[in-house]
């Protein structure tokens, strides 16, 4: 069976005058449908760079990223943007919500960009916002939400088009421990329900432990593969209301 995503001899270099910084060096990674993978490693080692390449947010210096066996970087920038919107979901350390849009409008945005019927897009967004406990915050803008609520909206937005792969870059890194754990549980619950693959870059040991595999990025390559028992579906301990950031 063809893997969902393959990174093949992936290389990323940055040039600063006479200095060449090689962040990723002939890196290989295979992600199957429904896989949960944590990428851990020291700050500045290239975890975010790897996720950006897997998601087509940046182009590699060498190597390939294959999705369903096709190299995503043979696409034009416009084709790559359309591919990202319909196939991938992103959650970042900072929510990147549009400040002039309400919570509901932010979650609807990917579906509207994909030109799906407005009624269906709105219904999906309402369902997701209720699922993350923000049914009373639909018309609030990001500045009117707590950090935890902002990140819940970001999770709902990432799942709005039922992506086949979710890429999460330190999704709890900007939150206090209690709120971070609530967002972590929501992300894992919704991912489990939807059945998409999930790749998370994190310094959070609890989040890494909840994933199926943990890979350590060092010196441009992945290693220290740890196989773990499949994570059981999580049950939140309390209300899904937003916590403080």
Q: What is the pLDDT of residues 20-65, one digit of tens each?
A: 889 999 999 999 998 999 999 988 899 999 999 999 999 999 999 9
What is the structure's pLDDT at 147? 87
d(CA 107, CA 130): 12
Average pLDDT score over the chain: 86
Torsion, Cα 2 5 9 13, to 10 degrees, reads 160
Is 60 exceeded by the pLDDT of residue 101?
Answer: yes
d(CA 12, CA 70): 20
- For the chain, the C-alpha Rg in angstroms (whole number) is 18
Is 90 exceeded by the pLDDT of residue 190?
Answer: no
- Looking at per-residue pLDDT, the higher value among 3 and 224 belongs to 3
Is 70 exceeded by the pLDDT of residue 242?
Answer: no
What is the structure's pLDDT at 1? 64
Q: Tokens 């902002």 belong to which residue?
A: 150
All structural domains of the chain, each given as residue ranges with its CATH number in brackets, are 5-224 (3.40.50.300)
d(CA 103, CA 97): 8
Confidence label for 67 from pLDDT (cuts 50, 70 and 90) = very high
Average pLDDT over residues 210-236: 69
What is the structure's pLDDT at 235? 43
Cα angle, residue 158 at apex, residues 195 and 103 outer, rounded to 5°:
135
CB atoms within 10 A of CB 141: 16
Beta-bridged to residue 39, according to DSSP, are: 201, 215
pLDDT above 70 as % of the chain: 91
Whole-structure pTM value = 0.83
Q: Enter the tokens of residue 151.
A: 């990140």
Helices (H), 28-171: 47-54, 77-87, 103-113, 118-131, 147-158
What is the structure's pLDDT at 228? 43
């Amino acid at each position: 069976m063809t893997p969902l995503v393959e990174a093949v001899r992936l290389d990323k270099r940055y040039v600063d005058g006479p200095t060449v910084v090689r962040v990723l060096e002939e890196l290989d990674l295979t992600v199957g449908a429904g896989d949960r993978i944590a990428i851990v490693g020291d700050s500045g080692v290239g975890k975010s760079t790897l996720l950006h390449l897997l998601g087509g947010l940046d182009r590699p210096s060498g190597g390939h990223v294959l999705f369903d066996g096709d190299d995503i970087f043979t696409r034009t920038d416009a084709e790559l943007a359309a591919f990202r919107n319909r196939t991938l979901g992103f959650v970042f350390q900072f929510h990147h919500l549009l400040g002039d849009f309400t919570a509901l409008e932010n979650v609807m945005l990917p579906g509207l960009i994909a030109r799906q019927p407005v009624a269906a897009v709105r219904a999906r967004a309402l369902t997701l916002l209720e699922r993350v406990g923000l049914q009373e915050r639909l018309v609030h803008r990001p500045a009117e939400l707590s950090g935890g609520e902002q990140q819940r909206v970001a999770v709902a937005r990432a799942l709005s088009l039922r992506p086949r792969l979710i890429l999460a870059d330190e999704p709890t890194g900007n939150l206090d421990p209690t709120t971070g754990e609530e967002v972590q549980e929501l992300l894992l619950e919704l991912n489990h329900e939807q059945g998409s693959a999930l790749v998370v870059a994190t310094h959070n040991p609890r989040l890494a432990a909840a994933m199926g595999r943990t890979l350590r990025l060092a010196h441009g390559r992945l290693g220290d593969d740890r196989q773990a028992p499949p994570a059981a579906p999580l049950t939140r301990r309390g209300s899904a209301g937003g916590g403080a950031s």
